[in-house]
Structure 1
Amino acid sequence: MAPEMLADDRVREFYHPYQPYDIQKQFMAAVYHCIEDGKYELMLTMARHEHSMCVRIMLAKRILRSASRNTLLNTFCVARGGKSLSLICGSLTWLLDHKRQAFEVCVVEGDTDEEPEWMHEHVQQEKRRIALQKQEELSTRLAAIRAKEKKVKERHEAGAPPPKRRKVTEAGSAKSENNENIQFVLDDYESDSGFVETPEKGGIVDNGLSAETQALMKRLGMPISGTGGGEELEPRDELKILFCSRTHSQLTQFVGELRRLKLPPVVLPDHTAVKETMADMLYEEVKHLSLGSRKNLCINPKVTKLGSTTAINERCLEIQQPGTSADHKCRYLPSKETESLVHSFRDHALAKIRDIEDLGILGKRFGICPYYASRSAIKPSEVVTLPYPLLLQKSAREALDISLKDHVVIFDEAHNLIDAITGIYSISVSLSQLERSRAQLRMYLQKFRNSLKGKNRVYVTQVVRLLDSLIAYLVSKRTHGQAYDSVAQFGDLMAGNGVDQINLYKLMHYLQKSKLARKVDGYVMLAQQEELAQEGQDGRRRRTGALASDTIRGMPVLTHIQGFIHALTNPSAEGRFFCTCDDAGLEVELKYTLLDPSQHFEEVVAEARAVILAGGTMSPMEDYISHLLPSVPPSRIMTLSCDHVIPASNLFVNPIVQTKSSQYFDFTFTQRKSPTMICNLGDTLVRLLPHIPDGVVVFFPSYAYLESVRSIWQTSRTSVCTTSTIWDRMQNIKPIFVEPRSTAQPSSAVGADVLSAYSATVCASSSHQGALLLSVIGGKLSEGINFSDHLGRCVIVIGLPYPNPHSAEWKAKMEYVEGKAVAQGRQRGVASREYAENVCMRAVNQAIGRAVRHKGDWAALLLVDRRYSGERIISKLPAWIKKSLPRIAPESCTLGVVERGLKEFFERKGTISE
C-alpha cells in the first residue's frame, strides 16, 4: 500500500506531457523526494495510456560527514517497465526547482543589514538582471540554431537542393620508410627509480591523447582526463542527471521520451504581461548530450571500416602519435584552426535533444570529430545519456572528465547491473591470442632490437617471459577429446623462468607509459598491410598465417593481452582466474572473473547525490543490497513491493508439475535430458496449444537444451498419434519459430528477423491461430521485447535456468558468496542457495514479464517444473504475479486442472475482448 502524498506534491507541476494518473503523480513525487532528502520511501503501481508500470523501490540512505556540510546519499531502485517518462519528469522537476532555489540564494547572497533597504533592492535587481541576461544570451543563441535547422528541414521537405559543400581532402604524402616507422620506436625509459604507484583498480588510466592533442584541447577549454582547460576557460559544471543504460538503442528510446517534455526556464521573466502574451514560448529545451564510444561516434571512414571496437580505439590513438605522416593523420581531430567549429558543435549539440546518431551527423556536417568535440558540451549540459561502461569504468570517466560529485545517476535496465559490472572488469585470453601476441612481439623486436636500451630492454624481456609463462601453462592444460574447466592458481601462471621476480605493478606502469602494446600492434599492422599490398590478391588468399589473419582484421592482440596482465595485479579477494578447454582440445582459454562488484560500484555511490536503479523486474532484491551496497547499514535500507496495474482477473498463472501420466516434470541439470520427459513435455504442449489464441512464447533454460528438445520432438511420435512426430503435431496447431543462436550476425539482427516473422504471422492470422515462438531465458528475446496483446497471450517457462553447477566459475562464485556470508555471521549453505535462486528467478521474472505490457492486456503464465510448487521459489515471483496464483497444492498443478482453467480463462477473456 502506497503512502499518502504530501500536500505540496498534490499541487506540484511535474510537467508530464499527458494528464498523469494519480499513481504516476505518486511515483514522480517519490523520485523527487528521494533525490531531495530521502525522507520518504514509496511503493507505486502506475499506468500511462497504453503503458503500464509495476514499481519496486529500494531506498538506501547514509550520512556522509564532511568538514563543510552533511550530504545525504540516496539510492533509489525501481523495477518493471514503462517507467522512463515518469523518471524523467520527477528528476527534471527536482533539477528545475533546485536550480531555481540556487538562483534565489545567489541573488540575496552577500547582503548585510548595514545597507539601507533601497540598496538591498537595487543590488538584488542588478544580480537578477545579469543572471537573466546570461540566460537570455544562451537561450537566444540556441534558439537561433534551432530556427536555422528548422528552415533547413523545411527547405529539404520542399524539395530545394542542398547547399554545396566544400570538399575536404587529405593533405600530405607518404614519407620514407624510416620516417614512417619512427613512430613505432620506443622512447627512452629511465623513470623507474623510486616508488611506483599501484595502478588504479578501475583500469588502465590513459586518456589516449598525444601531447600535442592534449595541449590543443587545453587551449580550447576541452576536458582532458581530469585536467582542465585553465581557470578562465573552464566552464561551470552544471548540476545534471546522468542516465545510463546497457545499449544505445535503449538510450535512443529514452531520448525520444525526453523530447516530449516542455520545461519552463529556470528563472521566469518578471513581467506578467510577457507570461500572458508569450505563454506558448515560456519553455526551453533541456540541455542534453549523448555520449558514446569511438565506435559509435567516429566519422573517419578509414578507422570505422575496421569494425572492432578495440581496433577502432587503437587506430584512433595510433594516428595521433608524433611522427605520424600527414596522410595518416585524422583530419577530423580538433585543432587550433577549428576552434570555432568545436564551439559551434557544442552549441548545436545542446540546442536540440539529439541521440548518438544525430551527433555523428552533426560531426560530419562540421567536419569535426564528435567523439572529442562532444567533451566540450559535458559540463554545460543538464542531462547526459551514456552506456554503462562509460560511467561504471573509472578509466572511462577520467578520460571523458565526467564528475559524479553531487550529480544524480540513473541506471536503466538495472537488473543487469551486477552482470554489467562483472563483465566490464572481467577479461579472457586464449592460447592462440597469446601465441599470436608473442609472434607479433618477436616481429617487432627483429625490426627495432638495436634501438632497445636500458629499461626498455629490461621490461620488454619481462613481457616476453610473462607471455611464455602463460603460454606454457595453457599448453600443459590442453586436453584432447574432453572438456576442461578449473580454477587457475596465480602461482602456476607465474611459474615461468624468472617470472616470479617480475614486479607486475612496475611492469604495468611501464606498459602504460611506454605504450609498448600500441606501438607493436601499430607496426605489425602496417607491416602486414605493406606485405599484402606487394603480394597482391592471390597472395592474400594464399596467406593463412595466424599473424596475418589477426592483424589485417584490425584486432590488435598485445593491447588485449595488456588488459589481462593488468588483471594479474588485482587483489585475490576480488576475483579468480579460470582455465577452460573445449571438447576438441583445440582452444584453451584463461579468464579473469570479477567476483565482488561492490568495490567498483561504491565509487559511484560515494560521489553521487542520488543513484537510481530502474529496471524491468528486479525482484528478488536481496542481491542488490548484499553485493552492490554492503557498506550501507541494513537499518538504512527498505524494500517495498506492489501490485501490477492490471486486475488479477487479467492474469492466469499456474505451475504444471505433473504430466498426464502423473510423472513429475523435473528439469534439473541432471534430469532434464530424459527423452521420456521431453516427449511428455511435447504431449503437454500439444494438449494446451489448441486452447490458447494468438501468440505463444515458450522459454527454455539454454540454447543447447532448446536444440536437444527440438531434435527429440522432430523424431519422436506422440502417444496419441503414432503417424506424426511431436513437432509436426505442434506445427499443425501453430506455425513454429525458433530463436537461433548465431555468432555470424549481430544478436540484434538475428533476434529482429525471427521476431519480425513471428509477429507478421500472428498479426496475419484472422482465426486467432497465431504462432509458437521457442526462445531462451537470458537470450535475445527475453529482455526488452514487448510481447503485448496478440503477440503474447501465453508465456510458458520450461524449468529453472540455474547456471551450470559443475563449472569452476560458478563454484568459485558460490564459495565467494558463502565466505562473505560466514564473515557476516550468517549460516553456512543458506547464502549460496539464496544467491543461486535469486539469479535464476530474476531471469524467469524478466521472461514472464514480456507478456503483460499495459493496463488492458491479459495473458496466461505457465511454469513447468515441480520446483515451482515450492514455497521458496514461489516467494521470489513478483507480487503482481503471486496475486493471481491459486493456492499451491498437488491437485491444483496437474495437467488436467491447468487445461480446464486455461480453457475457461481464454473463453472468458475472448468474450470480453471481442
Structure 2
Amino acid sequence: MDANITEPSAEAGGSPGLRAERDGPVTTVPVDFHHPYTPYAIQEEFMSTVYQVLEEGKVGILESPTGTGKSLSLICGSLTWLRDHKGKAFEEGLDWGQNVSDEPDWIIEQARARKRREMLRYREDLESRLAKIRAKVKAQRERYLKADQKYKKRKTDVVKADGNVEDEEQFVLDDYDSDAEQSGSRRGGTAGSGLSASTLEMMEKLGMTLGGPKQEEIEEEDEMKIFFCSRTHSQLTQFINELRRVSFPSTISSETKKDSESEDIKHVTLGSRKNLCINPSVNKLNSVTAINERCLELQQPSTAQEHKCAFLPNKDNQPLVNDFRDHALATIRDIEDMGSLGKELAICPYYASRSAIKSAEIVTLPYPLLLQKSAREALGLSLKGHVVIIDEAHNLMDAIAGIHGVEVSLKQLKRARVQLGIYLQKFRNRLKGKNRVYVAQVVRVIDSLAGYLEGRLAMPQRFLKPNISATRRLHARSPPHIVPPLSLNPPSKEGRLFFNKDPSAAENITIKFLLLDPSTSFQSIVAEARAVILAGGTMSPMTDYTSHLFPYLPASSITALSCGHVIPPANLVAWNLSLGPNGQEFEFTFKNRSNNNMLDELGRALLNLCTAVPDGVVVFFPSYSFLESVVKRWSIPPSDVSGKSIYQRLEAKKSLFMESKTLGVETILASYAQAIDAGKGGLLLSVVGGKMSEGINFSDRLGRCVVIVGLPFPNINSAEWKAKMEYIESSVTSRLSDPIPTPTPQGVSSNSTSSTNAASRPILSKKETAVKAKEASRSFYENACMRAVNQSVGRAIRHREDYAAIVMIDKRFGNERIKGKLPGWIQSGLVEGAGEKGFGVLMGTLGGFFRGKKMNAAGSSDGRR
C-alpha cells in the first residue's frame, strides 16, 4: 500500500472533476460516477473520496449517516474507479516497447495488436456466454409470469436426497460451435508451420504463439476486484439489492462495442456451508460444526463411494462447475439465489462458487470469511493487490476480537476429556508415535485447565504465567465472581486469559481468551490489499481506528471523512437535557441509578415529552438491568390510592412497549408500528447496544423523538475492561518511550515519514508519558460509550424528508469532550446552551418544532437514495 502521500484537504472530495493539490500523486476525480439518481453534494464528496483512496492506495475511514445513500455511494465510487483502473491497465499492459526495445517497431506494434485481439476475444467470449445465460433466464421468467406450469416447476423444488434432479431442461444441449473446436484443434502445434526456430523464438518472446495464449491460462488470471464485507448476510443482501440498481460503461472498448455501452457487473457472493450446503443429509444437522465435520467426512477416501456427497465438484462434473460459474456471474445473486442455483444445477454452491471468484469484479462476503486467515485460505482467497471495503465497520475491532477470542467452560473440558479417553482406548495401537504424544499433550492441557477451573490444579508454567501485580491490584476491587486476568505467554501483549465463575451453577465456570490488540490480526489484510476502506453510518469517534487499529501507519496513509446529513437543518433539533420538570439534576452515574427521586423525575420528563411529540418515541437506557429497575420503580402506585403510577400514566399517553432479551424484535416492532398507525402513538423502551439499537429503522412516524438516558459506560471495574485499559496504557508508554520507530509493515512504502517516529517525537518525561497513556485509555473508554450512543441516535432520521428530535438526558452530555465525540450532523443540530436551559424551554422548542411540520406529508420521501 502506497503511503507516500499526504492527507487530502477538506475540499478534496467536494468537487468532482477537479484536481486536488497535494504533495503526493495527483488524482483526477471523474465527473460522472454513474449514480442512478441525481446525487446530493455529500454523496458526490463521499464518492470522490472513495475514488481517491482507491487510486492512491490508502486506508479510508468514511462516515456517512444512515439514510444518506451510503451503499450506493460506495458502489458508484468504487466500481467507477475499478472500471477506470482496469481500462488504463489494459492499455498500459499493451505497451511492451521497454521490454523488446531491440526489435523493429512494426514487430512490436503487430505484437500489441495481436495481444489486444486475444484479450478482447477472451472478454467478448465471456460476455457472450453471460449474455446468453441472461437471455435464457429472462425468457424463463417471462414464461413463469405467464403462468406456464411447465416452467413453474423449477429444479430447485425437486432435488432429491440422492442428488438426482428431475427436470427435462438438464438434458438440453448447450450451444455448439464446431468451427471453434476445429480451430482449437490446430492451436499450439509447430509441426509443418514452415517457420524457423529463431522466428518461433522471437514470436514467443513477443507473445505471438501460433495459436495465441491458451484459453485456460487467460481464465486463470485473477482480475482486479473489490472484496465487500459486512457483518451478516441480511446486510449483504441489502447491499446486493443496491448493486442491481447501477449500470457502468464497459471496461474496454472494442470495434464491436462503443465506449458508452454498459457492461453488466460481475458479482459473486460467498458463504459458509451452513448457508450453501444442498445435501439434505448434511444441511439438516443442527450446528455449524456438525455440518462442517459431516461435509469433510463425506469427502474422505475411506468413505464408501455410494455414501459420498453427490454434489461435490470433481473432474467428471467440471462442466457443471463451469456452468455454475457462468450463471453466478451472469446475474447478481444473493446468498439464497446461490443456494437455489446449486440445487438447480445439482452442484455444491459452497465449493462451486469459488470458480467465479477470479473473474468477478466484486465479491461480497461476511466478516468471518474475510477477517480470519484460515477462512480465506480455505476459500482460496488472495487479497494481494485487490481492494477491501468493510461496511458497518463501527464494530470491526470488536468483531476481530470475537473471531480471535475463545471461551471454554468446565463442562466442555470434561466432555472433551471423556471423548479423548475413549478415542485413545480405541485407537492407541493404531496411532503413530508422534500422534500418541500430541494427543497425550492435549489431554494434559485439558486436565490442567479443568483442574485450574476447579481450583485444584495450577496452570502449567509452559502455557500460562499469572500476572501477580495485576492480581494484587484487582483482588480488592473486582466483583467476587471474577478472578483477575492472567497474561498469555506468549504473546502476553496481544491478549489475556480470564476465569469467570457463576456461583449459581457448579459447572458454569469458564476460561476466556480476550484479544486486546486487533491491529496485529488486521495488519496482514492491510499489507496485502491495494487499499482498505472502513465505512459506516456511525464511525465517530474515529481516533480509535487510527490509534488502535492502524498504529503502525503514518497519518499520510489514512484519509478520514465524516459526511453531514442529507436533511435540511430545520428537520432536526438536538438537546442535551440537564434538569427535569421539577429542577432535579440528571446524572445517571452507576451510584445514582438507585436514586428514586431522579428516576421519578425521569418519568415525569417522559410524560411531558410524550405530550409534545406525536407518534413514536424511542427511549434508550444504558442496560437491561437499569431498564428493569426503572420500570419497577415507575410501577409502584403513589401513596394516594386514587392516583396512578408513572407507568400507568405513560401507558395512557402512548401505547407502551419494552425491549426484551427473550421476545423477538419483529413481534415488538410490529405491535409498536400498529399502535402508531392506529393513531394512539407508541413509546418504546429500549437498551443501548441491544436489539433495537442497530439495524432497525425508526423512520418517519416510528421515531419522531429518540431519547438517550444516561451514558452507557462499560463497567470499568470489570476484569476485561481493566485489562483493556492497562494494555492501552502500556502500549502508549512503550511507543512514546521507544527511540526506534515502529517497523514499516509489508506493503506500506518505507520512504514515508511517520508522525510518531523518533525524528518527530518530542522527548517526554516519565510523568508526561504516564499522563499521555492515561489520557489514551480514558479516550478509548469514552469512545466505546459514545459509539454506542451514536448508533442508537442514528436510528431515527432515515431519508431527506424525515425529521426528528433527539434528547440526551444527563448533565454529562454538556461536557465538551463528550459533545465532541458526537457525529458532526448531531453536533450541528445541538441547540446552543441547551444544558443550561430549563425543562420548560425544551418543551417550548419541541412544541414549535412539531407544529411547524406538515404532518400530512410526514411519511413522504423524494425516493432518492
Letter in 2 for 1:246: R
Give the 5 Å matches for 1:231-380. 235-270=220-255, 275=258, 282-380=261-359
Change (3 A) 1:26 1:462: closer
2:608 to 680, 687, 691: 687
Whether the aligned pair in 1 keeps the contact of 2:599 and 2:630 (CA below 8 Å) is yes
Q: Distance in 2 between matches of 1:889 and 1:851?
A: 21
Maintained 8 Å contact 2:573/2:805: yes
What is the one-letter code of the residue matched to 1:659?
G
Contact 1:264 1:284 in 2 (8 A): yes
Structure-2 change in CA distance of 1:116 and 1:336 (3 Å): closer
Q: Counterpart of 2:86? A: 99
Partners of 2:246 and 2:595 in 1: CA distance: 55
Q: CA–CA distance in 1 between the matches of 2:30 and 2:722?
A: 54
2:117 is the counterpart of 1:129: yes
The offset of 1:322, in angstroms, is 2.7
Shift of 1:374: 0.9
* Corresponding position of 1:191: none
Q: Give me the whole-angstrom Cα distance separating, in 2, the residues matched to 1:10 and 1:461.
A: 62
Listed as ranges, the matches of 1:443-842 within 5 Å are 443-476=422-455, 492-494=458-460, 571-586=491-506, 587-634=508-555, 636-637=557-558, 639-717=560-638, 723-742=643-662, 750-765=664-679, 769-825=680-736, 826=769, 827=771, 828-842=773-787
Give 1:26's aligned residue.
45
Distance in 1 separating the partners of 2:634 and 2:397:
37
Q: Secondary structure of the equivalent of 1:736? A: strand
Is 589-598 or 144-153 further displaced after alignment?
Answer: 144-153
* Residue 906 (structure 1) aligned to one of 832, 846, 850: 850
Alignment-derived partner of residue 843 in structure 1: 788
CA–CA separation in structure 1 for the residues paired with 2:352 and 2:645: 61
Q: Counterparts of 1:646 and 1:774 in 2: how far apart (Å)?
A: 26
Any idea what the Cα deviations from partners look like across 1:547-573, whole Å, max 9, x if unmatched? xxxxxxxxxxxxxxxxxxxx9675111
SS at match of 2:364: strand
Unaligned runs of 5+ in 2: 1-9, 20-27, 165-213, 466-486, 737-768, 859-865
In structure 2, what is the Cα distance between the partners aligned to 1:292 and 1:878?
33
Alpha-carbon spacing, 1:361–1:167, altered in 2? closer, same or farther (3 Å): closer
CA distance, structure 2, for counterparts of residue 92 and residue 898 of structure 1 = 46
What amino acid is the match of 1:582?
A: D
Aligned counterparts of 2:566 and 2:808: Cα–Cα separation in 1: 22
Distance 2:577 2:639 in 1: 19
Q: Separation in 2 of the partners of 1:132 and 1:171?
A: 38
Cα distance change, pair 605–116 in 1 and its aligned pair in 2 (3 A): closer
Offset at residue 232 of structure 1 (A): 5.1
Shift of 1:383: 0.5
Q: CA deviation at 1:712?
A: 2.1
Distance 1:737 1:75, change over 3 A: same
Structure 1 residues 673, 287: CA separation in 2 closer, same or farther (over 3 Å shift)?
same
Q: Deviations over 1:563-606 (max 9, x none)?
A: xxxx9675111000001112414311110000000001111111
**Displacement of 1:891:** 3.2
CA distance, structure 2, for counterparts of residue 20 and residue 807 of structure 1: 47
Give me the whole-angstrom Cα distance separating, in 2, the residues matched to 1:669 and 1:154: 62
Judging changes above 3 Å, is the alpha-carbon distance between structure 1 residues 494 and 319 closer, same or farther for their aligned structure 2 residues?
Answer: farther
The answer for the alignment partner of 1:109 in structure 2 is: 96
1:141 aligns with 2:108: no
Distance change (3 Å), C-alpha of 1:645 and 1:433: same
> 1:842 & 1:384 partners in 2: Cα distance?
28
Give CA deviations for 1:409-459 in whole Å, capped at 9, x if unaligned. 100001011111111101101111111111222232333344345223322
For 1:453 and 1:114, locate their aligned partners in 2 and report how far apart those are by CA, in whole Å.
Answer: 61
- SS in structure 2 opposite 1:783? coil
Residues 325-382 of structure 1 deviation map (CA, whole Å, 9 limit, x = unaligned): 3454222111222111111111111111111111100111111111111111111111
8 Å CA contact 1:718, 1:726 repeated in 2: no
Cα 1:324–1:449 shift into 2, 3 Å: same
Query: Are 2:500 and 2:510, in contact at CA under 8 Å, matched by a contact in 1?
Result: yes
Residues of 2 paired with 1:170 and 1:275: CA distance?
A: 48
Paired amino acid for 2:143: R
- 2:833 corresponding residue in structure 1: 888
CA distance in 2 between partners of 1:171 and 1:786 (Å) = 42
Letter in 2 for 1:650: N
Instruction: Give the deviation of 1:141 after TM superposition.
Output: 0.6
TM-score, normalization: structure 2? Answer: 0.79
Q: CA RMSD in A?
A: 2.9
The answer for the alignment partner of 2:211 in structure 1 is none
- Deviation (angstroms), 1:304: 1.6
Residue of structure 1 in register with 2:479 after alignment? none
Fraction of identical pairs, as percent: 52
Q: Distance in 2 between matches of 1:360 and 1:668?
A: 50
Matches within 5 A, 1:374-453: 374-453=353-432
Distance in 2 of aligned mates of 1:872 and 1:154: 60
Indicate the SS of the match to 2:455.
helix
> Which residue number in structure 2 is paired with residue 190 of structure 1?
none
8 Å Cα contact 1:700-1:798 kept in structure 2: yes
1:873 to 2:809 alignment: no
What is the CA deviation profile of residues 301-324 of structure 1, one whole-angstrom value per residue up to 9, with x for unaligned ones?
222222322222222222222322
Quick one: which amino acid aligns to residue 625 of structure 2? A
Question: Matches of 2:668 and 2:42 in 1, distance apart?
Answer: 36
Equivalent residue of 1:652, what SS? strand
Secondary structure in 2 aligned to 1:715?
Answer: coil
Residue 824 of structure 1 aligns to a residue in which SS? helix
In 1, the alpha carbon distance for the partners of 2:102 and 2:221 equals 32
Q: How far 1:131 moved relative to its partner?
A: 2.5
Paired residues of 1:289 and 1:354 also in contact (CA < 8 A): yes
User: Which whole-Å CA distance do the structure 2 matches of 1:137 and 1:153 have between them?
Assistant: 24
Q: CA deviation at 1:617?
A: 1.1
Any stretches of 5+ residues in structure 1 without a counterpart?
38-71, 173-228, 478-490, 502-566
Q: Partners of 1:89 and 1:763 in 2: how far apart? A: 36
Aligned length: 727
Kindly indicate whether the alpha-carbon contact (under 8 Å) linking 2:59 and 2:558 is maintained by their aligned counterparts in 1.
no
**CA–CA separation in structure 2 for the residues paired with 1:443 and 1:581:** 29
**CA apart distance, 1:114:** 7.3
> Secondary structure in 2 aligned to 1:473?
helix
Aligned to 1:2: 11
The Cα of 1:913 is off from its aligned counterpart by: 5.3
One-letter amino acid matched to 1:2: E
Q: Distance in 1 between matches of 2:531 and 2:642?
A: 63
Contact 2:63–2:562, Cα closer than 8 Å, also in 1: no
Matched position secondary structure for 2:249: coil
Q: Which moved more, 1:660-669 or 1:130-139?
A: 660-669
Q: Provide the rounded CA distance (Å) in 2 between the counterparts of 1:499 and 1:417.
A: 29
**CA separation in 2, counterparts of 1:821 and 1:117?**
60
How far does the alpha carbon of each residue in 1:177-196 deviate from its partner, in whole angstroms, 9 at most, with x for none?
xxxxxxxxxxxxxxxxxxxx
